């Protein structure tokens, strides 16, 4: 009986060590127990949301704990960003920053309520979503050269739609105007869908969409793809040239996404999360799931350098375009 009690005690001791080990692992390099949330500044169903949910699922599997996506919409992403900026910097609150919310919007405001370079910590650049310059299927323009030639002969007669002020579709077009030396009027819409509908209907003549949402309309014959906005051709539209190939040599724009955390988040937490995102973005299953996006996965330092350069770039574009500040 005594031997049995001794064996039971040893088994319980081993079990205790196993439980303690798992409990320590659940801390994930210092992240408190409980769910981790990724705040996403757009509604469910779009490109940013699709990529964010893939990241959340991957982190949940890698970390062995609940990772949820929290969509916070409205206000050009400001409320969502501030929710993260003011959150406890312990790794339980993360943010899927976009080109609009952390590189463009602050430069469109007279008194921005946050500074993305000061108030947020870069974890990893997650993905690039190349844009594509599209026109309606009935448009007389078949190349970027056609469009530029017409715009130069007829300044102010072409309109371009955007998903709203400060969005990547807006900024992509403004940079195009500057680099191509053309005068094309801006027609902002409350989202990409109504802009595309009016493009198909002929109310506007061009639109910079992202490839993920544009592919069905292109393949369905409702839109023509004139050029891809990124520096390299897209594997999803291999026969479509880049804008740089089409006569605007310096042009290169993508709607990138990056995982971030509140300033003050411990370095060990940032590096663990970054390492997991890098592995996740290299996985073939992730690349297959995010159709239309180019997965990246970077170090925090590489993302920080990129973020600084993007802020400088878009601040200059906004200043040169004389876009009214909010």
State pLDDT tens for residues 104-148: 999 999 999 999 999 999 999 999 989 999 999 999 999 999 999
Mean pLDDT of 69-89: 93
Give the containing element (helix H, strand E) for 313: helix 300-321
What is the torsion angle, in degrees rounded to the nearest 10, for the CA atoms of residue 268, residue 49, residue 86 and residue 170? 120
Global pTM value: 0.83
> Which string of DSSP letters, residue by residue, matches 230-262?
SSS--TTSTTSPBTGGGT-TT---B--EEEEEE
Please report which confidence band the pLDDT of residue 25 belongs to, taking 50, 70 and 90 as the band edges.
Answer: very low
| Whether the domain at 35-128+255-321 and the domain at 131-246 fall into the same CATH topology | yes
Domain 131-246 fold: D-Maltodextrin-Binding Protein; domain 2 (3.40.190)
Contact predicate 128/253, CB 8 Å: no
Beta-sheet pairing, 206-210 with 185-188: unpaired
Strand partners, 188: 162
Task: Provide the token pair at 206.
Answer: 């061009």
User: Reading across the β-sheet that carries 93-98, which strands appear in turn?
Assistant: 67-71, 36-40, 93-98, 257-262, 120-128, 294-295
Percent of the chain with pLDDT over 70: 91
pLDDT over 60 (residue 22): no
Query: Which CATH code of 3.40.190.150, 3.40.1160.10, 3.40.50.300, 3.40.50.2300 fits the domain covering 35-128+255-321?
Result: 3.40.190.150
Cα separation, 205 vs 134, in Å, equals: 9
Of 22 and 273, the one with more pLDDT: 273
DSSP state of 161: E
4 Cα distance to chain centroid: 60
Residue-range domain boundaries for the chain: 35-128+255-321, 131-246
Task: Provide the token pair at 194.
Answer: 């109504």
The mean of the pLDDT values for the chain is 89
């Amino acid at each position: 009986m005594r031997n049995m009690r001794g064996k039971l005690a040893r088994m319980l001791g081993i079990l205790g060590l196993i439980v303690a080990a798992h409990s320590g692992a659940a801390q994930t390099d210092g992240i408190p127990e409980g769910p981790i949330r990724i705040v996403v500044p757009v509604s469910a169903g779009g490109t940013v949301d699709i990529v964010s949910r893939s990241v959340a699922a991957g982190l949940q599997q890698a970390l062995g704990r609940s990772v949820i996506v929290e969509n916070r919409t409205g206000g050009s992403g400001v409320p969502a960003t501030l929710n993260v900026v003011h959150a406890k910097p312990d790794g339980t609150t993360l943010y899927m920053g976009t080109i609009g919310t952390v590189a463009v919007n602050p430069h469109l405001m007279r008194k921005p309520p946050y500074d993305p370079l000061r108030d947020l910590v870069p974890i990893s650049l997650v993905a690039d979503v190349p844009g594509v310059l599209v026109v309606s299927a009935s448009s007389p323009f078949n190349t970027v050269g056609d469009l530029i030639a017409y715009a130069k002969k007829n300044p102010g007669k072409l309109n371009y739609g955007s998903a709203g002020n400060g969005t990547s579709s807006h900024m992509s077009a403004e940079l195009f105007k500057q680099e191509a030396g053309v005068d094309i009027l801006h027609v902002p819409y409350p989202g990409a869908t109504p802009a595309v509908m009016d493009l198909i209907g002929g109310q506007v003549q061009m639109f910079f969409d992202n490839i993920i949402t544009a592919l069905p309309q292109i393949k369905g014959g409702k839109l023509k793809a004139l050029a891809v906005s990124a520096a390299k051709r897209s594997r999803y539209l291999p026969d479509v040239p880049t804008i740089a190939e089409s006569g605007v040599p310096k042009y290169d724009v993508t709607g990138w996404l990056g995982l971030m955390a509140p300033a003050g988040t411990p370095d060990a937490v940032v590096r663990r999360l970054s390492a997991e995102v890098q592995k996740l973005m290299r996985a073939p299953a992730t690349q297959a799931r995010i159709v239309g996006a180019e997965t990246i996965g970077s170090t925090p330092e590489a993302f920080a350098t990129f973020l600084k350069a993007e802020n400088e770039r878009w601040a200059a574009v906004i200043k040169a375009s004389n876009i009214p500040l909010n």
